[in-house]
Chain A
Amino acid sequence: MVVISRNPIHSVLYLILTFFSLSGHYILLNAQFLAAVNIIVYAGAIMVLFLFVIMFLNIKQDQEETKNNLTKIAAAVVGGTVFVILFGAYRKTAIPAFNPDQFDSQIGMIESLGNLLFRDYLLPFELASILLLVAMVGAVMLGKREIGERHF
């Protein structure tokens, strides 16, 4: 539905629905923190910005540009290749045996997640935060008004 909708707004709304289903899966896996964060970050912030931009661009409901055959063929080839790769990967994957006795149902809870992130994976976590900081500084630099330039 995300892909086949003609109206980009509908696509975005379906994508939000997809994120909800994803959160539902997280809850079924007893990873409540991940579910909530998924809703807050993706559905609550990123998709709002998507919607925002599309609403600005799409006020006039202009006709969608006609796509020529070359684009269609290229898209079909790329999509088919991705599908083949996914299918191959899926076939090759060995699913580890599930042992109910050793399974810890609390593994998705926020306490164990915090312990894992801040103890075992501290360095990657901090590196990711630095990466985000750099991206943020870059965004601010891009969005900053030049000196002497006035917008309103």
Chain B
Amino acid sequence: MDLIEFSIKTATIFVVFVLTLLIAMYSTWAERKVAGFIQDRMGPNRAGPGGLLQPLADAGKMFFKEDFIPALANKWLFIAGPCLAMLTALLASAVIPFGSTFRFNGHEVNLQGVESNIGILYVFGVVALGVYGIMVGGWASNNKFSLLGAIRAASQNISYEVAMGLSLIAILMMSSSLSLGEIVSQQHGGNWNIFYQPLGFIIFITCSFAECNRVPFDLPECETELVGGYHTEYGSMKLGFYLFAEYINMFVSSAIISVLYFGGYNYPGMDWVYTQLTDAFGTQTGHNIATLIGTAVFFGKTLFFIFFYMWVRWTIPRFRYDQLMNLGWKKLIPLAIFNIIITGAAVLFLKPAITAWLN
């Protein structure tokens, strides 16, 4: 790899990193605004226009609070907990394809941190690791409520990972590729997976709610039963990291949903726009502008799903723990297996029949 390519890659990864953080930061603001809107009140409106500086103010507050470590806590693991949560949350955004390619001076730059052969498995692995942050932090606090929260988080994540993986398999059977870039480019031309996999999509989004510990599955931090859940003992920026990791997870899972099921950066009439732009501005500038539009569309979809998360949060009450487990093991997993069988049958029999009929 020569130096130019290397620096381009570094720059891409840096941009992806900053974008993820920025979006997560403004998700906290958006969450309050959406909450305010749904509950018919104002939301933050003091810091900056429309409360836009509120995340910065919050971050400042978090940083200047006392960094407290309980006397009986396991000190290193207590610090490692939020770090792990943040690390695993940030790792996943590396393989998301944000757009097609940029062209300049004969270089083609993928708008993707790393184009990997096993993209979706990578995301899945990182998500599977996400639970360590919570478990380690909850255990190290040396507090019964934290421990209970951590154990709830772990069991919930493990249970829902199974259904999530099974719902993904149907997608993989259709696209016969694990690479996220490949999956997106196969959905070109309105050929979105949501039309073929509505059941899989519902299972996937339910599981991603559970994986992010969002309402209605936020049992690990359910304050009526567990004080504050796994982060009871945390204060200052460590607590901030835990909360922030949740928002990053939310962004990443929204992005994954829009990549897997809603065609990523593809939009209807994309080819027409592309030819118009390349005719008007030449192959380089036109191509870049078309890519930018695609990226904007991708972010539009992602932001819609973030909004959807918030919408659900202020609409649906929390599940009870046994309801959560019943839903995961007794409903979602059989449904996902059923979905796999249907997809397999369709790929084997229906698809050749339709192609034969069309020709």
A residues at B contact (CB < 8 Å) = 7, 9, 13, 16, 32-33, 35-37, 39-40, 43-45, 48-49, 51-52, 55-56, 59, 109-110
Contacts and interface: CB of A to CB of B under 8 A. Distances in A.
A59 B147 contact: yes
B118 A44 contact: no
Q: Interface majority SS on B: helix, strand, loop or mixed? A: helix
A45 B165 CA distance: 12
Contacts of B155: 52
B158 A45 contact: yes
Contacts of A49: 158
B125 A32 contact: no
Interface size class of B (residues with CB under 8 A): 20 to 34
Interface string B113-127: 000111001101101
A35 to B, nearest CB: 8
B116 A32 contact: yes
Nearest to B157: A48
B53 interface: no
A44 B128 contact: yes
A44 B117 contact: no
Interface of B: 74, 77, 116-118, 121-122, 124-125, 127-129, 131-132, 135-136, 139, 144, 147, 150-151, 154-155, 157-158, 161, 178
B161 A55 contact: no
Nearest to A20: B129
Q: Which 4 A-B pairs have the closest CB atoms?
A: A44-B128, A36-B121, A39-B125, A32-B118
A33 B118 CA distance: 6
Given A49-B158, A55-B139, A109-B117, A44 B151 contact: no
Nearest to A30: B117
19 contacts: A16-B132, A32-B118, A33-B178, A36-B118, A36-B122, A36-B124, A36-B125, A37-B121, A39-B129, A40-B121, A44-B125, A44-B129, A48-B132, A48-B158, A51-B154, A52-B151, A55-B147, A110-B117, A110-B118
